[in-house]
Amino acid sequence: MNRKISLKKFVLWWLGAFILFLLIVFNTIMYNMVKKSFYERVKEDLCLVTKKVKNTLILRDDKIITIPPKIDYPINPVMIKVFNKKHHLVAKSIEFMNIKLYEFLQKESKFFIMNNERYGHIAIYLSKIETPIEGIILIATPIARIDAKLEDVLIKMLILSPILLLLLLLGANWMVDTILNPVRKVTLTANKISVGDLENSIPLPTKYDEIYELVKSFNKMVERLKDGVLTIERFNSDISHELKTPLTVLKGELEIALRKDRNIDYYKHTLNVSLNEVNYLIDLVEEMLFFAKMEIERDKIEEIFVDELLLQVMSKLSKQAKQQNVFLHLKRLDSINLYTNSVLLKAVFINIINNAIKYTPQNKNIYISLIKKDKKVLFIVKDEGIGISQDEINKITERFYRSEKSRNRAVKGFGLGLSIVERALRILNGNIAFNSKEGLGTEVIIELESIKI
């Protein structure tokens, strides 16, 4: 069994390690910069001492070089040695450190830091001279006070770094808590959700950020689950109700046929009735299953040519229209390509045109238009059918609703067509409107958005 790992602890551990690494790098760089700055200051002081010594050297008897004993140096104590061009010592101040010139002659730098047994770190500066003789001046001074300052800086860094690390971790802990609180709410709400309880949702945060998007997406997911469960419940309820009548008819016909011997014509009649009921059941189940799986099609978006899709649907339904002696007219057809779901849009076209064919008397007309208007698509179907009363026009999209004029098997259907259209348009972000008068026909206007010009 996998051990649960706290995301908060995981983030804080890694953040703490990263901050500690940054502090070590920062302190190392800062310490070296301070150290370099202190040493540069010592170098500048020794350079100034060298200039003063050059200006005060005295040549005696063309051989002996004298260094005046009283010169105001910016750094003390200092040891001064003067060497001629053959690197022989010709003059010196009080010698309190044993420093050999040959140790530095092969090096490119003029400034050195070395360790002395007695004085610790010492700074050494070399400079060439040309007067009063040609040679080299060596200046040296202990830098114990510099080392003391550097040690003090290092101690302060070692004291302040853990405090800074602790403060940063406390701040990070608060930030992680602030970030994770909405996530915890999502978790708690998710744990409460079940098939029987889909009413829970999470209040949206005040800030519009990634957490806001997470909570919003979670609430949308719950709504989709709720819709799915309601769809299943309605499907179970509706299909049990709608299947009852044809199954009862089928059972009755078969039971009567089996009560006693019948002639061949009666059996043929029974089989025809049974076949009709079976076909009715097949069509009903197919429409019910399509209605139930529509939600699955929600995210299947592609670019389609709407005008071509409409022509395909009209070609498919033209045979049915001829059988009923109804005439289909394509009044207007604009060239339109649209990012949408082709299955759902095709279902809209089929059901609207199919309804118009069903409820239009013989020798009457149906006019179909596909219009591109601004950033919208208008699909209009106008028939010369029986029309819809004003009392029924608000009910016709309800599932299994059939008007009084169509409640017979002569007009085939289950009352699902317009329900499928309404649900498909809800997914496609479309709208449907009806203009109808009894006996004069019906005009259906469907509006779709997100057109690609």
Full pLDDT tens readout for the chain, 453 residues = 456 667 788 888 888 899 999 999 999 999 999 999 999 999 999 998 888 888 888 777 666 677 777 677 777 888 888 888 888 888 888 777 778 787 787 777 889 888 888 888 889 999 888 887 888 889 889 988 888 999 999 999 999 999 999 999 899 888 888 877 877 777 777 777 666 666 667 777 777 777 778 778 878 887 877 777 776 776 666 666 667 777 887 888 888 888 888 888 888 888 888 888 787 777 777 766 776 666 666 667 888 899 999 999 999 888 888 988 999 999 989 988 888 888 888 888 888 898 888 888 889 999 999 998 878 889 999 988 887 776 666 666 665 544 444 444 444 444 566 777 888 888 888 888 888 888 788 888 889 875 554
Q: What is the CA radius of gyration of the chain?
A: 48
Report pLDDT for 406: 46
At residue 407, the pLDDT reads: 42
Q: For residue 179, which of 214, 221, 220 has the smallest C-alpha distance?
A: 214
| Residue 443: strand pairing partners | 382, 435
Asked if omega into 68 is within 30° of 0 (cis), the reply is: no
In this prediction, residue 291 carries a pLDDT of 65
Rounded Cα–Cα distance for residues 58 and 65 (Å): 6
- The pLDDT of residue 231 is 67
State the Cα–Cα distance between residues 129 and 139, nearest whole angstrom: 13
Q: 17 vs 20, 109, 295, CA distance in Å?
A: 5, 40, 47
Rounded CA gap, 275 and 273, in Å?
5
In Å, how far from its chain's centre is CA 214? 9
Degrees to nearest 5, angle at CA 83 with 80 and 89: 85
CA-based max dimension of the chain? 159
Beta bridge partners of 115: 121
Distance (Å, rounded) from C-alpha 100 to C-alpha 87? Answer: 10
Residue type, 231: T
Quote the CA–CA distance of 375 and 358 in Å, as a whole number: 32
**In 180-307, which ranges are E strands?**
302-305
CA distance 67 to 54: 9
Strands (E), 195-245: none
Q: How many C-beta atoms surround the C-beta of residue 381 within 10 A?
A: 21
Which distant-in-sequence residues (6+ apart) come within 8 Å of 439 by Cβ? Answer: 386, 387
Query: What domains sit in the chain, N to C, each tagged with a CATH number?
Result: 7-150 (3.30.450), 193-298 (1.10.287), 300-452 (3.30.565.10)
Is residue 99 within 8 A of residue 87, CB to CB? The reply is no
362 with 386: CB under 8 angstroms? no
Look at residue 453 in the predicted model and tell me its pLDDT. Answer: 44
pTM above 0.75, yes or no: no
Q: For residue 263, give both structure tokens.
A: 């002639």
The span from the CA of 453 to the CA of 445, in Å, is: 21
φ, ψ (nearest 5 deg) of residue 271 = -65, -40
Nearest alpha-carbon partner for 122 in 130, 112, 132, 131: 112
Q: In sequence order, which residues have a C-beta less than 8 Å from that of residue 421 and are 6 or more positions away?
A: 347, 348, 351, 352, 397, 432, 446
Q: What are phi and psi of 443, to 5 degrees?
A: -115, 125
Q: What is the pLDDT of residue 394?
A: 65
Q: Cα separation of 318 and 366, whole Å? A: 11
| CA distance linking residue 55 with residue 71, whole number of Å | 11
Instruction: Find the distance separating the first CA and the last CA of the chain, reported in whole Å.
Output: 56
Cβ neighbours of residue 119 closer than 8 Å, sequence gap 6 or more: 97, 142, 144
Output b/e per residue, 333-348; b: 16+ Cβ within 10 A: beebebebbbebbbbb
- Amino acid in position 179: I
Element (H, E) at 169: helix 144-192
